[in-house]
Amino acid sequence: MRASPAHCWTILSLTPCEAEELQRHKRCKILRYHRFRLTYEKPILNLFLVQPHLELNPRASLMSIPSISEVTTQQSILENRKILIVDDEEPIRRLLGYLLEPHGYQVTLAGEAREARQRMEDGYYAMVLCDVNMPGESGMDLVRHILTQYPNTAVIMITGLDSPVLANAALDMGAFGYIIKPFEANEVLINVANALRRRKLEIENAMHRENLEEVVRTRTIALQQALEWLERSEKELRLSREETIQRLAIAAEYRDSSTAQHIQRMSHYCELLARRYGLSPDRCDLIRTASPMHDIGKIGTPDHVLLKPGKFTPEEFKVITQHTEIGYRILAGSDSDLLKVAALIAWTHHERYDGTGYPRGIKGNEIPLEGRITAIADNFDALTTQRVYKPAYDFDHAKELMLKERGKHFDPDLLDIFFDSMADIKRIFDQFADPSWLSSSRHRAITQDQGEAV
């Protein structure tokens, strides 16, 4: 019967504690449960009829098991006591039937292999007692067919020939026993009982194995879904964090007429240089994310100094240099690796390799690597874009100016690595170009020159 989603009931295999836990957290409504005992050796199976709440995803949260009808079928298979006796001698058939029926077995007789095949098609039998030598199709061929088509049916061979070779062949084929005529009543009853017990154990083991495989498969899917959810959450958190950082950085940069694209270009220049220098991918990504906050301290710089188009007086320059200390104080003191790196960059990206920079005048490798990387990226972007105090320089002119400061302002090794990556630098510059630059005649001329060069 098909039900609407709001009234979709699912049968679950749960312990009473698990069911109470689900209901206590209001994740589903437990209507009732049935208790089945498949065998006396196995623990009771609790089947709960569960209605998930509408906001609950049953596929992600609940384990599916066979329906009640399927469980009933499994139970009937285990408790089946129907036996098919196949022998071309009618007295033998009847004798075996008389021996077995008083012990609760349901007996069906067949005089040849063709009749036996028809009986097997008409009904399910737990066991077949089959004579080896019969007219027409032999008992061995019939047993081979039964074991192939009905693997849950036990087979015992009956023969008047005491042959170890024949017995081993039958057992190797999958027969559960081998009875030699003439036989004793107890011999037959013991062989039948042992064969059915073995059959029951094998079926139970197969069911248990299938159940375990289903549990593993279901829990694996649930684990994969949980990991995917965590990855999505982590990605969303990371993107949200980066966007917050960029917007804060843009707020500071807007005060001196920079653009959001400057933040993107400079941070990707930093990531490119860090990667070419050989830092780990995680460290490169950390530098890319942290570097946009390099000038966050400018929010503490007065407008009349920050927006001045000409050169600074000594007093004004002293004021402008304070943005590194302000930025460091804003970002320092956090346990976050991101903010630690951001604070270090804000504090050191105006230091010079020869020790003549600010705010502390440190030099060489005393300057943190992140500060030396950001100094190159920030200055290159400042030279190649228009500012209130200068026009935008082309790449060759910017490179020429910066190479003059090799070993003075900039780390010589990092600078060489940076300019060895000009193809990637141009790609980043075009990807995050300012809208006004994209529409300018100068950009069109450079693009045309690049196309002719290619």
Q: What pLDDT score does 66 carry?
A: 46
Tell which of 198, 231, 255 closes a domain: 255
Is 367 in a helix, a strand, or coil? coil
**13: domain range?**
1-58
Q: What pLDDT score does 21 carry?
A: 54
- Is the domain of 416 the same as that of 448? yes
Q: How many domains would you assign to the chain?
A: 3
Tell which of 193, 227, 255 closes a domain: 255
In degrees rounded to 5, what are phi and psi of residue 47? -110, 115
Asked whether 129 and 170 are in contact (CB, 8 A), the reply is no
Angle between helix 185-253 and 337-348 (nearest 10): 20
Q: What pLDDT score does 312 carry?
A: 83
Q: How many angstroms separate the CA atoms of 11 and 2, rounded?
A: 14
Asked whether residue 113 is assigned to any structural domain, the reply reads yes
Asked whether residue 66 is assigned to any structural domain, the reply reads no
- Is the domain of 130 the same as that of 221? yes
- Is the domain of 215 the same as that of 347? no
- Is the domain of 239 the same as that of 302? no
Q: What pLDDT score does 374 carry?
A: 96
Q: How many CA atoms lie within 13 A of 418 on its CB side?
A: 30
Give the strands of the sheet with 177-180, arranged side by side. Answer: 106-110, 82-86, 127-131, 154-159, 177-180
Label residues 407-439 b or e (16+ Cβ within 10 Å = b).
Answer: eebbbeebbebbbebeebbeebbeebbbeebee
pLDDT string in tens for the chain (454-residue length)? 333 333 344 444 445 555 555 555 444 444 443 333 333 333 333 444 444 433 333 333 333 444 444 444 666 777 788 999 999 999 998 999 999 999 989 999 999 999 999 998 888 899 999 998 888 888 889 999 998 898 889 999 998 888 888 888 888 888 888 888 888 889 999 999 998 999 888 888 888 888 888 888 888 888 888 888 888 888 777 777 777 776 676 666 655 555 567 888 999 999 999 999 999 999 999 999 999 888 888 888 887 777 777 788 889 889 889 999 998 998 888 888 888 999 999 999 999 999 999 999 999 999 999 999 999 999 999 999 887 667 889 999 999 999 999 999 999 999 999 999 999 999 999 998 876 544 454 444 444 443 333 2
Asked whether residue 47 is assigned to any structural domain, the reply reads yes
- Is the domain of 235 the same as that of 104? yes
Asked whether residue 65 is assigned to any structural domain, the reply reads no
Tell which of 255, 290, 324 closes a domain: 255
- Is the domain of 283 the same as that of 416? yes
CATH number of the domain where residue 248 is located? 3.40.50.2300
Asked whether residue 277 is assigned to any structural domain, the reply reads yes
CATH number of the domain where residue 436 is located? 1.10.3210.10
Asked whether 131 and 158 are in contact (CB, 8 A), the reply is yes
- Is the domain of 29 the same as that of 85? no
- Is the domain of 242 the same as that of 374? no
Beta-carbon neighbour count of residue 236 at 10 Å? 10
- Is the domain of 262 the same as that of 385? yes
DSSP-assigned letters across all residues of 322-335? HHHHHHHHHHTT-S
Angle at 159 between CA 157 and CA 162, to 5 degrees: 110
- Is the domain of 133 the same as that of 241? yes
Q: What pLDDT score does 404 carry?
A: 95
pTM: 0.50
**Pick from 160, 153, 181: which is nearest to 96 by CA?**
181
- Is the domain of 242 the same as that of 266? no
| Chain centre to alpha carbon of residue 90 | 64
- Is the domain of 345 the same as that of 261? yes
Asked whether residue 262 is assigned to any structural domain, the reply reads yes
Asked whether residue 70 is assigned to any structural domain, the reply reads no
Asked whether residue 69 is assigned to any structural domain, the reply reads no
